[in-house]
Structure 1
Amino acid sequence: MAHEEMVKDDSKLSSYDAYFETIQSRKKLPQSVQETLTNAFASIPVSSFPQVPGGKVIEILADTSVADALKILSECNILSAPVRNPDTGNSSDWRDRYLGTIDYSAIVLWVLEGAELAAVALSASSATAAGVGAGAVGALGAVALGVTGPAAVVGLTAAAVGAAVAGGVAADKGMGKDAPTAADKLGEDFYKVILQDEPFKSTTVSSILKSYRWAPFLPVSTESSMLSVLLLLSKYRLRNVPVIEPGKPDIKNFITQSAIVQGLERCRGRDWFDLIAKQPFSDLGLPFMSSAEVVSIQGDELILEAFKRMRDNKIGGLPVVEGPKKKIVGNVSIKDIRYLLLKPELFSNFRKLTVMDFMHTIASQETGKVIPPITCKLDSTLGSVIHSLASNSVHRIYVVAGEEDEVVGIITLRDVISCFIYEPPNHFDDYFGFAVKEMLNK
């Protein structure tokens, strides 16, 4: 067992190495330029990076309900926030004070597990027969039937799952494997059971944080270098890096991938930036994925399948395409889950909610029309890509080709950051030690 865990850990680190090595090997930049830039970032302290808007990091208490946490993220227009333990008192150790980070990805995972478990119950016959009515959801959950792990935290009663099992449906059949079936079976009951009533209103952030975490909570010191932050946000796939001031327990800053790219955009006009920004992004190893590797969703597929696909591939968004040529017609982001959760009344009349129905319903509430996806051509410069990402406050740009605007690649914030740096030998061993790689393996 220990050997299997070690192999798994080595594989995860190897995937980081493979990604970064591929990007580095494709760069058509003089080695001297890359070394100069990397050394420059290594000399810049984290304390010099601009503070979050308003100067104070938004934190969410661990006993906050998922519903209220989602409202905080939406109202503050942020994707994630550190979770603070309200029971630590005056502890000066950040390890006691903070439990991790809550983000849209964790909420999507939790909702999908709940939807799929509920679908098992509903597929027995109907919501009423399966016992998933308004009064059927309680604290006992699925644990009594042996359904443990992430699915158990949704709080559905044993009676609900039991009815499905009695009807000949295996309890594990619908969990995490069949979101289209889940959406097909749920209809309006999905919103009543998972979102409008319990457990959505009372499940706490701490409950889902333990089961749904894509990346470790890994703060850096204000005295650390920006190179370390850039490496964590690019090679090591973290989406945010908390900043701790030595000797003080509170988070001083919260640096995200988006904030880094916004900062790069403000460097326009400086020689070092312009030298790289004028290069076609293809000369810098992008797009990283081939067109065959792009994960997309057809407009007539179900919206729950879109979120499931993001979950399964650990990505934050999908291009919405149509036809065999994969002509891009829209974009669905993991952040869009907020519409399902905070405004379920918009969708309660849909028996089968497709991606296009979802996008048009959102558009009718905001601009009145579906916002076109942010795209670029294969010969675009890195500077134009950075400008599009920064000015539109988006996390990915789709590379299209031909008259049909076929999606042939995706460039993410992570990819852009990777263009500006490389990892010096033994960097993390020298600056962070063994513990960092242990945490990155989790």
Structure 2
Amino acid sequence: MQVEDLWDTQEPQLSPTEKLNACFESIPVSAFPPAPSHQVIEIKSDTSLAEAVQILAEHKILSAPVVDVDAPEDASWIDRYIGIVEFAGIVVWILHQSEPSSPRSPSSGSAISAAANSVTSFLELGVLSLDSAATTSGSFFEALTASEFYKNTKVRDISGSFRWAPFLALQSSNSFLTMLLLLSKYKMKSIPVVDLGEGKIENVITQSAVIHMLAECAGLHWFESWGTKKLSEVGLPMVSANRIIKVYEDEPVLQAFKLMRKKRIGGVPVIENGGTRAVGNISLRDIQFLLTAPEIYHDYRSITAKNFLTAVRSYSEKHKEAPLRLSEMITCKKDHTIKEMILLLDSKKIHRVYVVDDDGNLEGVITLRDIISRLVHEPRGYFGDFFDGVLPLPQNSRV
């Protein structure tokens, strides 16, 4: 049965939210549309960071599960997969190794240390930091991606780093409610679905895929009943103007990614110097351009947030790629409906929309996760103590 059928059979005394919860609890994850085959990609643990970046870029995905090459052929999925590797994780991990105070800086004699020793002088460990002049220069990432450190370090070497995501998977018999809660309250951006018999991944469900599914429900009774509510009626935006994390256009672009890492957020607006107007948006997924096209910054003395936006926009136009939303601020008003937000997020293929007033001043931000979180709620004791001490991670966690 689909949500539309279940909606009409629920007890009339249930509230709309309770009815939605009951509907999604009754639908198995196996009913979720399969992801395109090019998005269900696995990366072997002995793959180099350089190769992993290339794989992620070619398939236009932000992360992928890592298969332990040393696991036996008949290994269960728990033993077969050792984690999720992400674009952002690779960049931040590399930079973190260079911080003198890092407890994870490679020790002498380690494989990583051996690779790092062959890096050019300004890439040597103990010299760099996220704020140093070297890491903000236009040639930094071009030199980094040509280094032996980058080419020789394996994906398994960053296992356990603070941007290494644990492997938490669903089974096809789990419910939509479980899936939606993991993608919203528990802040997972994507969830693999495993085939217990084969011990392998058969689908990957992302926040974007859920929003697309909701967009296709437009016109159905249950969706219209929920989706016609205004954002302000359902408590959105959750992040108000004075709590928005932002960067100014003359700040190093690495500051933007550093803030995203520290605050555990997916994007920041770029604000004009000396003003309050947002001139662009940088998201965590944009960090891939620091590794996949480092040559585009070569002529910049410093990779500022503004230079980053300009360089990537130019690169995209030159290579005739799909227009990027880096410089375009997608906005809405508080009187927009949930339905309008879902259709906007889906059509633009973006992860956040900024809420503005009539004068264009920022009033808040709404993400994919915010929308999904308004669709369902977690019943008391639903996960028991499963996430105690696991998710959400402590603020200073490096797991």
TM-score by length of 2: 0.84
Deviation at 1:86, TM superposition (A): 1.5
Q: Is the 8 A contact 2:89 2:163 kept in 1?
A: yes
Could you tell me which of 306, 315, 329 is aligned with 1:373?
Answer: 329
Could you tell me which of 389, 406, 410 is aligned with 2:361?
Answer: 406
Q: Is the 8 A contact 2:252 2:305 kept in 1?
A: yes
Q: What code does the residue aligned with 2:305 have?
A: V
CA distance in 1, matches of 2:31, 2:381: 24
Q: Is the 8 A contact 2:169 2:193 kept in 1?
A: yes
Name the structure 1 match of 2:84.
101
SS at the partner of 1:52?
Answer: coil
Aligned runs of 1:1-400 on 2, under 5 Å?
32-54=15-37, 57-114=40-97, 116=99, 142-144=106-108, 155-157=115-117, 175=129, 179-180=130-131, 182-183=132-133, 187=137, 190-191=140-141, 193-213=143-163, 215-323=165-273, 325-367=275-317, 371-400=327-356
Deviation at 1:83, TM superposition (A): 0.8
Q: Which has the higher helix share?
A: 1
Deviating beyond 4 angstroms after TM superposition, the runs of 4 or more aligned structure 1 residues are: 114-117, 152-155, 158-165, 368-371
The answer to whether 1:426 aligns with 2:381 is yes
Gaps of 5+ in 1: 1-29, 121-140, 166-170
Deviation at 1:375, TM superposition (A): 1.3
- Counterparts in 2 of 1:159 and 1:335: CA distance versus 1, 3 Å: closer
CA distance in 1, matches of 2:234, 2:390: 30
Q: Is the 8 A contact 1:244 1:250 kept in 2?
A: yes
- Counterparts in 2 of 1:154 and 1:216: CA distance versus 1, 3 Å: farther
CA distance in 2, matches of 1:331, 1:407: 13
Deviation at 1:103, TM superposition (A): 1.2
- Counterparts in 2 of 1:327 and 1:188: CA distance versus 1, 3 Å: closer
> What's the RMSD between the two structures over aligned residues?
3.0
Aligned-residue identity in percent: 37
Deviation at 1:94, TM superposition (A): 0.8
Q: What code does the residue aligned with 2:205 have?
A: I
CA distance in 1, matches of 2:38, 2:108: 47
Q: Which deviates the most, 206-215 or 86-95?
A: 206-215
Q: Is the 8 A contact 1:325 1:406 kept in 2?
A: no
Q: Is the 8 A contact 1:221 1:245 kept in 2?
A: yes
Deviations 1:291-348 (A, max 9, x none): 1110111111111111111111111211112155521211112222222212211112
Deviation at 1:371, TM superposition (A): 4.2
Name the structure 1 match of 2:7.
none
Q: What code does the residue aligned with 2:116 have?
A: L
Deviation at 1:184, TM superposition (A): 5.3
Q: Is the 8 A contact 1:294 1:409 kept in 2?
A: yes
- Counterparts in 2 of 1:318 and 1:279: CA distance versus 1, 3 Å: same
Q: Is the 8 A contact 1:377 1:399 kept in 2?
A: yes
Q: Is the 8 A contact 1:81 1:101 kept in 2?
A: yes
Number of corresponding residues: 371
CA distance in 2, matches of 1:272, 1:71: 42
Q: What code does the residue aligned with 1:275 have?
A: S
